[in-house]
Chains A and B, each alone.
Chain A
Amino acid sequence: MLGKEDIHILKGINLDIEQGEMVALLGPSGSGKSTFLNVLGGLVPPTSGEIKIRDYLISEMTENELCLFRREHLGFIFQSYNLISTMTAMENVALALTFAGVKKEIRRERAKEALEVVGLVDRMGHKPSELSGGQQQRVSIARALVNHPEIILADEPTGNLDSKTSADIMEMITRLNREENQTFVIVTHDPDTTKYCTKVIHMQDGLIERSVNQ
């Protein structure tokens, strides 16, 4: 479904996710986990099929509508953090609010709140290069949270972190999931991660192999 020759990466996925669920997407490399997540977030349009979040039909939205939608309803967390290297932690978090047109003072306040949630207030003036991988990932989580989106899509959020830090991050995510009733869809390689989740979906060759509620 990407590229010129229409390689079908996802080949027929039928899935419902409820509000407040914490879903793990598990599967071997190349099975289409990231692609599926990106399709969910509207970063890649599906060649066919429907994606519906609440009443919004993602698969039919224009690029601009998708931008607005992401701004209000979605948060993204990436394996490689994707922070802007020239901005401080605070600025990175606040940037998402800038585009949403939030006033400066409110922006600072809310960015600080989000950094508090991930326990990084004391590092808010630092640039990404001055932070550890775990800290960077926490900044990116704070950035995903700052808009209070209903859904957070995370692509291997702990992929670059050691097991201790991974556990910290996952615990934090779990806490947010419970406290804020935010829906999480987390792509992972790591079976340990799945134990924090309410639903585990196993993918294989662009198909859902099985889906387990736990």
Chain B
Amino acid sequence: MNKQELLRLSWENLWRMKFRTILTIIGVVIGTSSIIVMVSIGNGAQKSITDELSGVGSVTTLQVYQDLSSMGMSAVSGGKQKDKVILNDDAIKDMKKIDGVVAVTPVVSLNGGEIELNRDQYGVSLMGIDYGVLKDMRYETTSGKKPGANDDNSVILGKEALTSFTLTGISAQPEASTINMEDLIGQNVNLIVKRTNAAGEEEIRSQKLKVAGILESTGGNEDYSIIADYQLVTELNEWQTGVKSNVKKNGYAEALATVEDSSVVNSVTSEIEAMKFTVFSMQQILDSMGSVFQMLQILLGGIGGVALLVACIGIVNTMTMSIYERTKEIGIMKVIGASISDIRNMFITESTMIGLIGGIVGIIISIALSLLINLIAGFFIGGEGSVTISYITPGLVIFALVFSALVGMLSGVRPAIKAANLSSLDAIRSE
């Protein structure tokens, strides 16, 4: 019997017992669609979080710190300074030479500043970076513009920098800001920094800052900071603490390296690490999150797998029942010339078809369910744009198709062998 005939005969056999075939297929449909939907939810969670995290700027920006372990070591070994790598201007210069690095800036921060607007006080922190390389960094402004290399007193406001304030004189709950930051562009604001002097008196320093623009969200600390030139921030720091900073000896707490694009992130990371600094990048977080999501998918897929296992038992049951029902027919076929392999292939083809049809219908239903889940989620979560809770990849569709057909086929093997080995005479005599 050739393949085409085999397919036709098996197909006809299936539809002769419509009701049972459909019930069995429904079992497979439930199994496959639960696998697909479960895995798609894992996918969706991964996709929405990685999309969130991999904003254009943040993946190509590396955070560099002095190596924590080497600092610890030097302390233990009695502070042998020459062993310690310091994140100073020389180190920054070296980092700039690495292939793929576009800009490197030290990061100097100042906490506990205040800005007074409309008699409301806003607690702010400053993030000082090198304005000399600001133009090469992935900081974009949503309105206004980036300060140039010499705009020492200009700042960029983080998106959330002025969202909450406390009423003057009352240390009450922070309240939501009523300020429209756009209105501040081009304006001067007064930054107030306080310190307590040796005599225990409070001293106040006021610093005029010119708002140059508003920073496009990066998803990082910048959103809650005011970006200023690092020299200004260093100076304010020195005033606040009363200690001259010695960058050459102590280094910066942090530096930011901007790289060309995401493809060089890993190579640059390892080169900076070779300089004995600690590097954090969004890429690393994404990588480690990837394995978490893989676990999640395996777990969710496993739950769906149980449903498919039940479907698999359903197929075995249907095919076995079908043998009992069709014993006589099998006998007749053998007597009129069907070979053992003809009968076996016929049964395996039938069960594979059940698996495949179940898989195809399951995929269609899963796609519909996935759309529905996202729609409902979008309805409840709200927000602009569509929400991705469930995300079906083409790979998942292909996997589901192959897997369901395979499950059908394997479920059919035992019944098929059983059918093929029936004695033709006993079979033909049975009623």
Contacts and interface: CB of A to CB of B under 8 A. Distances in A.
Contacts of B1: 98-99, 101
Contacts of A71: 336-337, 339
Interface stretch (A62-70, A113-121, A172-180): A62-70
B328 interface: yes
A99 B338 contact: yes
A89 interface: no
B295 to A, nearest CB: 50
A64 B421 CA distance: 11
Interface string B315-351: 0000000000000110111111111111000000000
A106 interface: no
Given A67-B337, A96-B336, A99-B1, 20 more contacts: A41-B335, A43-B335, A43-B424, A64-B340, A67-B334, A67-B338, A68-B339, A71-B336, A76-B335, A76-B336, A82-B328, A82-B332, A84-B329, A86-B16, A95-B333, A99-B333, A99-B336, A99-B338, A99-B342, A101-B2
Contacts of B335: 41, 43, 70, 76, 82
Contacts of A194: none
A13 interface: no
Contact-size category for B: 20 to 34
Interface of A: 38, 41, 43-44, 63-64, 67-68, 70-72, 76, 78, 82-84, 86, 95-96, 98-101, 104, 143, 147
Nearest to B339: A67
B49 interface: no
B428 interface: yes
B425 interface: yes
A98 B339 contact: no
Nearest to A81: B332
A70 B340 contact: no
A100 B338 CA distance: 8
Contacts of B201: none
Nearest to A62: B340
7 tightest Cβ-Cβ pairs between the two chains A and B: A71-B337, A96-B336, A67-B339, A43-B425, A99-B337, A99-B338, A86-B16
Interface string B408-431: 000000000000000011001000
User: Which residue, B333, B334, B335, B336, has most C-beta atoms of chain A within 10 A?
Assistant: B336
B5 interface: yes
B56 interface: no
B372 interface: no
A86 B333 CA distance: 13
Nearest to B328: A82
Interface string B1-14: 11001000100000
Nearest to B331: A82
A10 to B, nearest CB: 15
Contacts of A78: 428
A104 B341 CA distance: 20
B256 to A, nearest CB: 73
Contacts of A143: 336
Given A38-B425, A98-B9, A99-B1, A70 B337 contact: yes
A98 B336 CA distance: 10
A111 to B, nearest CB: 12
A68 B341 CA distance: 11
Contacts of B2: 101
Residue in A38, A64, A86 whose Cβ sees the most chain B Cβ within 10 Å: A86
A101 B328 CA distance: 22
Contacts of A83: 332
Contacts of B340: 63-64, 67
A150 to B, nearest CB: 14
A160 to B, nearest CB: 15
A99 B333 CA distance: 8
Interface in B66-114: none
A197 B332 CA distance: 27
Interface hub of A71, A99, A104 (most chain B Cβ within 10 A):
A99
Q: Which of B328, B333, B337 has the most CB of A within 10 A?
A: B337
Contacts of B424: 43
A95 B346 CA distance: 13
5 contacts: A71-B336, A82-B328, A98-B9, A99-B336, A99-B337
A71 B336 CA distance: 6
B337 A147 contact: yes
Contacts of A82: 328, 331-332, 335, 428
Nearest to B338: A99
Nearest to B17: A86
A143 B333 CA distance: 11
Interface in B204-242: none
Contacts of A63: 340
A100 B337 contact: yes
B130 to A, nearest CB: 81
A95 B428 contact: no
B336 to A, nearest CB: 4
Given A98-B1, A101-B1, A70 B336 contact: yes
Nearest to B5: A98
Contacts of B333: 95, 99
A72 B339 CA distance: 12
Interface in B151-198: none
A72 B335 CA distance: 11
B425 to A, nearest CB: 4
A205 B416 CA distance: 39
A84 B332 contact: yes
Contacts of A38: 425
